[in-house]
Structure 1
Amino acid sequence: MSTSTTSIFTFVAQQVSIYFGIPMLIAGVIGGILNIIVFLSLQTFRQSSCAFYLTIMSIFNTGLLVAGLFSRIMISGFTIDWGQSSLFYCKFRLFFLNTFTLMSLICICLATIDQYFATCSYPRWQQWSNFKLAYRLIIAFVLIAILHNIQYYLFYNHIQLPITGKISCIITNDIFAKYVSYWFNLVFIGFLPIIITVFFGSLAYYNVRQLTYRTLPLVRRELDKQLTVMVLVQVATNFFTLTPFNILSALSLNKSIMSDQIVACSNLEHLLQIEFQTTFINDEPFKLGQLSLLSHSISYIDTCKFIFNEFIANNNKTLFIDQHTLKLIFNCTQYDTFAWELVKSIRSLSQSSCP
């Protein structure tokens, strides 16, 4: 992509962040505050456990706008990233952002399940819809969310990028990075809340349609209808906004795996060209000597990467190699005589982590 095209996209993203992001932030915060006022001012809502869940969800949504959208506007719209200058902000921004996101989705899940129990025709199941249980569940899930997301404080750190030299706020633990990508983003705040809310929302909608055939006070019937409509609107909004994002996230993970394999083969080929196809020294003893140097400079072997120590470069260099390439190196016998000497030399290394 040309520099001019990149500049155009950057400018467009900046303008969108400013002229769409700021009105969305203001409208969202005002709307969240109005939701809280409505739920707390009306007595019928104050006595409903479903309305309690929606109130807590509005609080977390408002906090999510401030912690997430506001910082994104500053980064994309005004190129001001406090996460680069402050390690405290780097850690706690992600902590609060993911805690608010997780709790918002938990609240809509609990509200949908609660409304299903509240509209159920079985009195025994209706007992599960009560304010006391809702209060305890919110406290429990808040504690769980805080303990879960404290990992963002532990594993997010400042790293200086080797190419640009800029400070970046990124995850420094590979295991936690994989957990966030494959479990937290795709499951816990991805497809799982959508499945739960759509399933129980459909059941609650069916129960509400049966209310006309049941003997209930008019106030209770209308309250159940209003709350069910509120919940279903939120469920539909989450479904149509989060589902495309989750699908794209899943596809991007698969795309990154494929791109890693392409980069792996390219990096391996480039390294071998440097070590074994030197234009001014091309005799086999020299190449085998370079191979021995390369072999003894490998710190450890992983299924995804080789890490070379300072014997090759002034600072550590990582060479990404996919599993297919590793299998070719250690198992394939379709090499010529000289190439097979290369394979046999590398085979002497530890292979405990190889596929």
Structure 2
Amino acid sequence: MLPIDLVNAISTNFSIYIGLSILIAGLIGNCLNILVFLSLKTFRENSCAFYLTAMSFLNIGQLLTSLLPRIMNLWFAIDWSLLSIVYCKIRIYLFQLCALSSFTCTSLATIDQFLATCSHPRWHKFNNIKIAYRSFIFLILIWMCHGIPLLVYQDHFLALSTGEITCAITNNFYQNYVTYGFNLTLVSSLPLSVTTIFGLLAYRNVTQIAYRTVPLVRRELDKQLTVMVLLQVFCNFFIIVPYIIVTAIFVTVTYSKDSYRYAQLQLARSITITDFYLYFTMPFYIYISISERFRKQFLHVFFGIYSAHRRRRRRMTINPFSPSN
């Protein structure tokens, strides 16, 4: 049996070094996703691709507002939320907003692909970019209003047991809602259920799409996006389910903070929370590994931009006195 101090050290180091790797990979991957989705007209005019683009922006926000402060706190013992009451409130508000909006985008992308691959044409009218814009704005406004209580109840709080000031929710009723309503439902069980159900329905539809009179370009795009979204849903299942299980155990089972069981549970919680951030990191790596078409699109965009940049530099070198306008 490992000493409690060693278990705690493993928990901390795992959160720091694996978390840092996830942060760097996530920032790079989401930026590359945005680059591809915004560079190609095929994606700019597609509602599912719009949701995936918005999700990439939100994933960056989530990593910067949640994972980065977590790493800084564990590594350097710097808790920025204790330095400013405004930051204490705004960070957790942005964390909730980005997390809920990102999961909403994944759910909407899955539903969108179900609608896009339906055999009944009447469902296709809901599969357009204008509805995607409106749905996204509407749901963002809902989540912005949803987080308002955080701005009220998130505050500096003196913990009587330790005598230390922490940035925490000061209302017990709202804390229970955050634990069970937010952590165990809105950012875990609910989006997992929605994406799994509509993902399976979209898969059933896409297996039959070859037998329908659908334009070839649209058929291939629908297949590509459906496969990308489905594999993301599959990977999310194995990321979110352990988080749900360990979080449920953590909030229902009581151990002494000095006990070995508590140290083990903290280790399991650190692992599942850190792995939970893979949801915000993996999309680009899933798409590029599963879709040959996406790989070609990425190479076309990446090297096309690089080649254009080199050509501009060459022209400037040849004629450095040419007018800029």
TM-score past 0.5 threshold:
yes
Whichever of the two has the greater Rg, that structure is 1
Show CA shifts across 1:65-104 (max 9, x none).
1111101110112211111222112111111111110001
- 2:175 match: secondary structure: helix
Inter-partner Cα distance in structure 2 for 1:117 and 1:240? 25
Inter-partner Cα distance in structure 2 for 1:43 and 1:86? 44
Q: Which residue of 1 aligns with 2:129?
A: 131
Instruction: Report which stretch shifted further, 158-167 or 168-177.
Output: 158-167
Looking at both structures, which has the greater relative contact order when contacts are Cα pairs under 8 Å and sequence separation is at least 6? 2
Inter-partner Cα distance in structure 2 for 1:6 and 1:77? 19
Q: After TM superposition, list the pairs within 5 Å mapping 1:70-109 onto structure 2.
A: 70-109=68-107
Q: After TM superposition, list the pairs within 5 Å mapping 1:298-317 onto structure 2.
A: none
Q: Which residue of 2 aligns with 1:221?
A: 219
Q: TM-score when scaled to structure 1?
A: 0.69
- 2:119 match: secondary structure: coil
Q: After TM superposition, list the pairs within 5 Å mapping 1:248-267 onto structure 2.
A: 248-256=246-254
Q: After TM superposition, list the pairs within 5 Å mapping 1:144-223 onto structure 2.
A: 144-223=142-221
Q: Which residue of 2 aligns with 1:48?
A: 46
Q: Which residue of 1 aligns with 2:36?
A: 38
Show CA shifts across 1:198-246 (max 9, x none).
0000000111100111122211111001100111122112211011111
- 1:58 match: secondary structure: helix
Q: Which residue of 2 aligns with 1:239?
A: 237
Inter-partner Cα distance in structure 2 for 1:221 and 1:180? 42
1:9 aligns with 2:7: yes
Show CA shifts across 1:291-334 (max 9, x none).
xxxxxxxxxxxxxxxxxxxxxxxxxxxxxxxxxxxxxxxxxxxx
- 2:176 match: secondary structure: helix
Instruction: Report which stretch shifted further, 153-162 or 223-232.
Output: 153-162
Q: CA deviation at 1:248?
A: 2.1
For the 8 Å contact 1:14–1:78, the answer to whether it is kept is no
Which amino acid is the alignment partner of residue 142 of structure 1? I
Inter-partner Cα distance in structure 2 for 1:201 and 1:132? 22
- 1:127 match: secondary structure: helix
Q: CA deviation at 1:180?
A: 1.3
Inter-partner Cα distance in structure 2 for 1:38 and 1:50? 14
Q: Which residue of 2 aligns with 1:309?
A: none
Q: CA deviation at 1:126?
A: 1.0
Q: Which residue of 2 aligns with 1:24?
A: 22
Inter-partner Cα distance in structure 2 for 1:15 and 1:217? 52
- 2:50 match: secondary structure: helix
Inter-partner Cα distance in structure 2 for 1:220 and 1:152? 43
Aligned-residue Cα RMSD (Å) equals: 1.8
- 2:127 match: secondary structure: coil
Number of residues of Structure 1 aligned to a counterpart in Structure 2: 256
Show CA shifts across 1:156-202 (max 9, x none).
11112223221111111111111112222222112111111000000
Q: TM-score when scaled to structure 2?
A: 0.75
Inter-partner Cα distance in structure 2 for 1:110 and 1:255? 35
Instruction: Report which stretch shifted further, 213-222 or 140-149.
Output: 213-222
Which amino acid is the alignment partner of residue 160 of structure 1? L
1:69 aligns with 2:70: no
Q: CA deviation at 1:136?
A: 0.3
- 2:161 match: secondary structure: coil
Q: 1:113 to 1:23 in 2, by over 3 A?
A: same
Inter-partner Cα distance in structure 2 for 1:50 and 1:157? 38
- Structure 2 unpaired stretches of 5+: 257-325
Inter-partner Cα distance in structure 1 for 2:8 and 2:86? 28
Which amino acid is the alignment partner of residue 154 of structure 1? V
Inter-partner Cα distance in structure 1 for 2:248 and 2:16? 29
Q: CA deviation at 1:10?
A: 3.6
Q: CA deviation at 1:251?
A: 2.7
Which amino acid is the alignment partner of residue 12 of structure 1? I
Aligned mate of 2:112, from 111, 114, 128? 114
Which amino acid is the alignment partner of residue 32 of structure 1? N
For the 8 Å contact 1:105–1:189, the answer to whether it is kept is yes
Q: Which residue of 2 aligns with 1:313?
A: none
- 1:165 match: secondary structure: coil
Inter-partner Cα distance in structure 2 for 1:16 and 1:244? 16
Inter-partner Cα distance in structure 2 for 1:150 and 1:6? 39
Which amino acid is the alignment partner of residue 25 of structure 2? A
Q: CA deviation at 1:15?
A: 2.8
Inter-partner Cα distance in structure 2 for 1:145 and 1:118? 26
Which amino acid is the alignment partner of residue 3 of structure 2? T
Higher helix proportion, which one? 2
